[in-house]
Chains A and B, each alone.
Chain A
Amino acid sequence: MTANKKPPVLVVLQMSGAYDALNTFIPYSDPLYMDYRPVLKVEPEQVLAVNDEVGFHPAMAPLKALYDQGKVAVLQGIGYPNPIRSHFRSMDIWHTAEPAKMVTDGWLGRAIRDLDPNKENILTAVNFGRGLPRALAAPGVSVASVGNLETYGVLTGIQGEDQRTEALEIFARTYSPAIGSGAVNDYLSQTGLDALKGADILTSAPQMYSSTQEYNRDLFAQWLKNIAQVHLADFGTRILYTGVNPGTFDTHANQNITFPKLWNDVTSAVSTFYHDLKEHHANEEVVILMFTEFGRRVKENGSGTDHGSGGVAFVIGDAVKGGLYGEYPSLKPEKLDEGDLQWNNDFRSTYATLLEQWMGLDSKAILRGSFEQFDFIKG
């Protein structure tokens, strides 16, 4: 629960492509690390150490700064049973919280249903990016998905107030759900109507916003800025979602070049976002989850790393008890899982912790099961 009595907000950042856990949060004092990564290793003196054994990649200095303030929980060795090494399928698993079978609704979609059972606020959750992540999907749940906050709106090209009003009325009526027209049609109806309602409200957010913080120009940073704008506009939005372009962290090759830049961009944006909220006294009610779909192979392939398992995730915020959670997976050959880091905590434990201890929801119903929770949320 939040200290300032404002409703808790969850910001979820999807780092698609599977960032290399071993080089993100580095066991720099383990000699095996050097053995496995002759080309990609980060020298111990460069690692941003949090203790004698582990530390952040040097490109993640902004996140390390937040860690030093006690605001970052590091979930080491996070994963799920029977790891899948396909981007699509594994990301689906993180989205649906269902490793064993294909389902089409997401953990956040179910959470939205619980947060707003009577559908009083179509802006309960907003996604920034292309398409709607499955994590946010659930029957009857509407989420605005915004590619560009400045230009979002329906039939904006129709000239003349009256004409446009008339057209929008007809639009609303033709998009009304018809009984028995099937799931896809209902989905389209819902999407259309809610897009209409949401568009007018959302586009007022940038005009209400002013800040001294300067975000970088990359798309991820801009979307984080949009998230700040929507949060600060007080629409009652409780879940905000965005991420980097799919595949971005998929460093099969030239990892030494792309990886540091990616983490630098991402952690700078996250830090700017945090400080933006703080400037507006809106930081205490926000917690951020940053995750990816799996880790990468322990042994490098020459210039990069292939798909593996056993990852690392981060939870960031004032309400977070910073520190290390889970165990760092062993690098000993006999302890690896087919050449990959062995996971030791199910990601659903992290989800359960956030759902219950932060958002105040019933995690057992949402996750369809009981998962041991962590202690990384204060209070």
Chain B
Amino acid sequence: MADKDIALMAHLMRRAGFGAQYDELEARAAKGYEATVEELLHPEDHPNGLELDLAERYFIEWNHFTRGVPEYCTFRMINSKNQLEEKMVLFWHGVLCTADSKVQSYVTLYGELEMFRRCGMGSFRDLLVEISRDPAMVYFLDNCLSHKGAINENYGRELLELFSMGVGMDGHFNYTEQDVKECARAFTGWTIANGIPGQPYGRYASRFIYNPADHDNGEKTFLGHTGNFNGEDIIDIICQQPATARFLSRHLYNYFVADDAQVPAWMDTPPQDPETIKMLEDEYFRSGYSIRSMLRVLFNSDVFKNARFARIKSPIEAVIGTMRLIGDWTEPKPGFEPIFDEMKHMGQEILNPPSVEGWHTGKEWIDGGTLVQRINFIADRVGDLNYPGVQDIITKLAAEGPTLSPEALVDGCLRMLGHYALADETRRMLVEHARKSGVLRTDTKEFPEQVGQMLQMIVATKEYLYA
């Protein structure tokens, strides 16, 4: 298997998943790139390899107090063989946002994530209908408090602003305040049957119900169309808009290809790669709003294949990726709280985005505080020789020969980490550092420590922030 094929596969798995250990990269590269893309796009055809019986016995209470749901989600992201499916759950979680800070019912949020798993690669139109019926979302954006004759604009606004079209495109607004109000009118009656429950009756999931008596049946004018619109009709109109194609394409680009401007800038800032955005927009319309089709076109494009290390990893990617690399959390076990807190202090608390607008990405993940948090966390893990993944790296490097040159140590570690590339100067410094230990004999008891240290230095570099 040529190095370049494994490097390409490492890139694909970092983007369409959370990264992979070297053995998995070799196996997937042997299967072939297009075949792997197809496998990722069709999780329904492949077992996810999760021992859910075991996991469910462990995460018994998917409720607020024991953090069962975030643990369960993290466990899935680390261990599912259907990595793209999990990556799409995270994608939609960051776009169609709800947050535990208000919903306060992990089991209801869990239902939403399951919906993203089911519908995340299907039709965008269907997904918008599903999210409008999701009890966590109905509650989060107060649609249960929006009534015929007394609308609450929150969901109507965010559906347009953050979930489909965006405030504006190419310097023009996409909708008016009147459109927001008409949209809110169309969604009256889309409510929840039972409130999100609190103590002392424990937590059970809420469910959606359509209340026709509370629905505003009047004529509405939305984006220039007039009729007695209900929610689905509004969504149909939204999906036809070029603005929707653009918004979705830019989100997919930012998440899978390269860091670009953030959502609030989209109205006035054109995409840095308009051709690729256009490619995605065209596929959106050609395929009848199929997210899967858009992803297929994206992953098989040269633009994607060449966009190496063009995105700064999100905290969840950094943490999950590290867990997968070192082989931690392959089984459920106690001690999840610190991991959860790490992701939170790095700026991304799972199931709890800071607001309905989700998280700012790219370089905005990094500042004086989060940078330190991230480097410390990853360095601590990869330098810990007790983890099976770290031991595996040491074994593979030791197998290269009785001694290793400093260059071979540095390059070997980079390869094992997923064919990471360093700037020449950075690599030179690390080689210099390795040279100080003299000739490295792979059979000494110092060798594992030397490998561990080199891994720590690499993960502390600027380059390692990217994926």
B-contacting residues of A (Cβ < 8 Å)?
A: 16-17, 85-89, 92, 101-102, 127, 130-132, 142-148, 152-158, 163, 166-167, 170-171, 173-175, 178, 181, 184-185, 187-189, 191-192, 194-195, 198-199, 245-247, 250, 252-253, 301-304, 306-307, 338
Contact = CB atoms under 8 A, between A and B. Distances in A.
A86 B167 contact: yes
Which 8 pairs from chain A and chain B are nearest by CB? A157-B380, A132-B367, A247-B355, A145-B367, A145-B369, A144-B368, A246-B354, A88-B264
A155 B380 CA distance: 8
A245 B154 CA distance: 19
A166 B433 contact: yes
B177 interface: yes
B145 A303 contact: yes
Interface stretch (B230-238, B290-298, B356-364): B356-364
B372 A195 contact: yes
A167 B457 contact: yes
Main secondary structure of the interface of A (DSSP, over half): loop
A148 B345 contact: yes
Interface string B396-410: 000000000000000
B379 A158 contact: yes
Contact of A191 (B146, B151, B345, B367): B367
B264 A89 contact: yes
Contacts of B216: none
A146 B355 contact: no
B347 interface: yes
B153 interface: yes
B159 interface: no
Interface stretch (B42-50, B84-92, B422-430): B422-430
A189 B462 contact: yes
Contacts of A174: 425-426, 429, 460-462
Contacts of B375: 154-155, 171
B370 interface: yes
Contact of B370 (A87, A102, A130): A130
A137 to B, nearest CB: 9
Contacts of A188: 363, 366, 371, 462, 465
A173 B429 contact: yes
B300 interface: no
A170 B433 CA distance: 9
B228 interface: no
A127 B152 CA distance: 35
Contacts of B357: 87-88
A194 B161 CA distance: 37
Contacts of B360: 131
Contacts of A166: 433
14 contacts: A102-B265, A130-B354, A131-B370, A146-B369, A153-B376, A155-B379, A166-B433, A167-B379, A167-B457, A188-B462, A199-B372, A246-B355, A301-B151, A307-B153
A170 B457 CA distance: 8
Given A170-B429, A246-B354, 14 more contacts: A87-B355, A89-B167, A92-B264, A102-B269, A130-B347, A146-B368, A147-B345, A156-B376, A158-B456, A166-B433, A170-B433, A184-B363, A301-B153, A302-B152
A17 B356 CA distance: 11
Nearest to A202: B368
Nearest to B425: A178
B352 to A, nearest CB: 10
Contact of B152 (A86, A101, A195, A306): A306
Contacts of B354: 130, 245-247
Interface in B120-159: 141-142, 145-147, 150-154, 157
B433 A147 contact: no
B391 interface: no
B268 interface: yes
Given A246-B354, A302-B145, A147 B373 contact: yes
Contacts of A195: 368-369, 371-372
Given A152-B369, A157-B379, A252 B152 contact: yes
Nearest to B354: A246
Nearest to A338: B177
B316 interface: no
Given A86-B161, A155-B460, A157-B380, A253 B152 contact: yes
A184 B142 contact: no
A167 B460 contact: yes
Interface string B285-311: 000000000000000000000000000
A194 to B, nearest CB: 6
A308 to B, nearest CB: 11
B330 interface: no
B364 to A, nearest CB: 7
Nearest to A126: B368
Chain B interface, >50% SS class: helix
B367 A131 contact: yes
Contacts of B362: 184
Interface centre among A153, A185, A338 (most CB of B within 10 A): A185
Nearest to B259: A184
B80 interface: no
B383 interface: yes
A306 B154 contact: yes
B104 interface: no
Given A154-B376, A250-B355, A253-B145, A304 B152 contact: yes
Contacts of A304: 142, 145, 152
Nearest to A128: B369
Contact of B368 (A85, A143, A158): A143
Contacts of B372: 152-154, 195, 199
Contact of B142 (A92, A175, A181, A253): A253
B304 to A, nearest CB: 20
B345, B354, B453, most chain A CB atoms within 10 A = B354
B107 interface: no
Nearest to B144: A253
B145 A301 contact: yes
B263 interface: yes
Interface-central residue, B362, B423, B460, by most chain A CB under 10 Å: B460
A306 B365 CA distance: 30
A158 B356 CA distance: 38
B52 to A, nearest CB: 33
Contacts of B363: 184, 187-188
Nearest to A148: B345
Contacts of B366: 187-188, 191
B101 interface: yes
Contacts of B433: 166, 170
Contacts of A185: 462
A152 B371 CA distance: 11
Contacts of A246: 354-355
Contacts of B367: 127, 131-132, 143, 145, 191
Contacts of A88: 263-264, 357
Contacts of A147: 345, 369-370, 373
Contacts of B167: 86, 89
A191 B371 contact: yes
Contacts of B380: 157
Contacts of A130: 345, 347, 354, 369-370
A198 B367 CA distance: 12
Contact of B101 (A127, A194, A245): A245
A163 B367 CA distance: 25
B196 to A, nearest CB: 12
Nearest to B155: A252
A150 B461 CA distance: 24
Contacts of A194: 368
